């Protein structure tokens, strides 16, 4: 355990020492929230207003709060996964610089070395995404706050699960890479495509039925839905209190991917947590298995 703790401390120090990597990781959520608020907010608002205008006239505060919560959930769902690829650069840097050769001749097992990479990725990603969460909550507070204390706690839990999911995924993907250019290319592809695949940029309900069925098999879909459920939970309650029929609220929940469907059945929040936890365990076990086989 002492070796793993020392490795985690060493990797974290390297992360903070590399100003370029630290700055790029920290600035990513800021850029995303500015881009989302600038370009996607009006699109989300127009689509939401057009979908609900025939049901009931909602106040601007509820509409703005709904759009802000949807944007914040999308940003956090994407950031928790994509940032881990930036943070996990230490593993590749050690190979590129030759530092891994020193570790290979040390008495520390290779499994512990890679666990150290993984845990430092989790801790650094939680720090970056904790900043992203604070920015998201401030944005929601400005636009229209309807979240309860329990909603915030569940969002924090969702963030931790998504970071663990992203860390296991990025560790598996980053393991065979040997240059920073390779990891940068992979990170760019993930950053560009993950938001669409998980339903962050555009609700999956807007996709074709075939694509919806395909995406229902991906764990990231349910991670995004968890964040949306808890960030929009207070908004849905406010809609019901203003007189919006429960059927209409259900339609809105379906439209915003808060009721994802798998093989014709709606997946509830407890099932989503089980899916995310199971995915983390499976990917984590796969990561350890790859290490044990390849490094032997």
**pLDDT tens-digit readout, 117-176:** 888 889 888 988 898 899 889 988 888 889 999 999 999 999 999 999 999 998 888 887
Are the C-beta atoms of residues 206 and 40 closer than 8 Å to each other? no
Among 53-57, 228-232, 253-257, whose mean pLDDT is lowest?
A: 53-57
Among 60-64, 263-267, 269-273, whose mean pLDDT is lowest?
A: 60-64
pLDDT of amino acid 53: 63
pLDDT of amino acid 153: 94
Q: Tell the residue number behind the tokens 């608002």, with chain if given.
A: 45
Q: Provide the percentage of residues in the chain whose pLDDT is more than 90.
A: 19
Give me the mean pLDDT over the 38-50 stretch.
Answer: 69
Are the C-beta atoms of residues 257 and 235 closer than 8 Å to each other? no
Give me the mean pLDDT over the 221-238 stretch.
Answer: 91
pLDDT of amino acid 251: 82
Tokens of 52: 């609900």
Closest CA to 191 of 4, 7, 8, 32: 32
DSSP letter (8 states) at residue 205: G
Give me the mean pLDDT over the 15-28 stretch.
Answer: 69
Look at residue 87 and tell me whether its pLDDT is greater than 90.
no
**Which ranges constitute the DSSP H helices of the chain?**
2-17, 19-35, 41-52, 60-87, 89-97, 99-104, 110-143, 149-174, 180-197, 209-215, 219-241, 246-255, 269-295
Residue 83: pLDDT band (50, 70, 90) is confident
pLDDT of amino acid 22: 66
Mean pLDDT taken over the chain: 82
SS3 248: helix
Among 89-93, 213-217, 219-223, whose mean pLDDT is lowest?
A: 89-93
pLDDT of amino acid 20: 67
């Amino acid at each position: 355990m002492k070796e793993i703790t020392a490795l985690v401390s060493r990797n974290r120090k390297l992360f903070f020492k590399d100003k370029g990597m630290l700055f790029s990781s920290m600035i990513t959520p800021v850029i995303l929230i500015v881009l989302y608020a600038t370009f996607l907010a009006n699109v989300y608002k127009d689509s939401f207003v057009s979908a609900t205008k025939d049901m009931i006239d909602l106040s601007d505060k509820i509409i703005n709060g709904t759009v802000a919560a949807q944007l914040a959930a999308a940003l956090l769902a994407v950031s928790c996964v994509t940032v881990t690829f930036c943070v996990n650069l230490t593993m590749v840097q050690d190979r590129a610089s030759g530092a891994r050769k020193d570790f290979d001749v040390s008495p520390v097992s290779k499994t512990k070395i890679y666990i150290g990479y993984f845990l430092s990725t989790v801790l650094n990603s939680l720090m970056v995404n904790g900043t992203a969460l604070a920015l998201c909550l401030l944005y929601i507070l400005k636009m229209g706050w309807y979240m309860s204390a329990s909603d915030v706690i569940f969002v924090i839990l969702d963030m931790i699960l998504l970071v663990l999911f992203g860390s296991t995924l990025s560790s598996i993907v980053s393991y065979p890479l040997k240059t920073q250019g390779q990891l940068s290319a992979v990170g760019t592809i993930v950053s560009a495509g993950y938001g669409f695949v998980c339903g962050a940029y555009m609700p999956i309900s807007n996709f074709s039925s075939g694509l919806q069925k395909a995406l229902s098999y991906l764990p990231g879909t349910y991670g995004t839905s968890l964040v949306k459920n808890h960030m929009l939970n207070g908004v849905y309650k406010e809609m019901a209190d203003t007189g919006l029929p429960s059927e209409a609220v259900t339609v809105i929940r379906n439209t915003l991917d808060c009721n994802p469907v798998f093989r014709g059945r709606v997946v509830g929040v407890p099932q989503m947590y089980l899916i995310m936890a199971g995915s983390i365990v499976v990917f984590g076990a796969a990561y350890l298995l790859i290490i044990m086989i390849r490094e032997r």
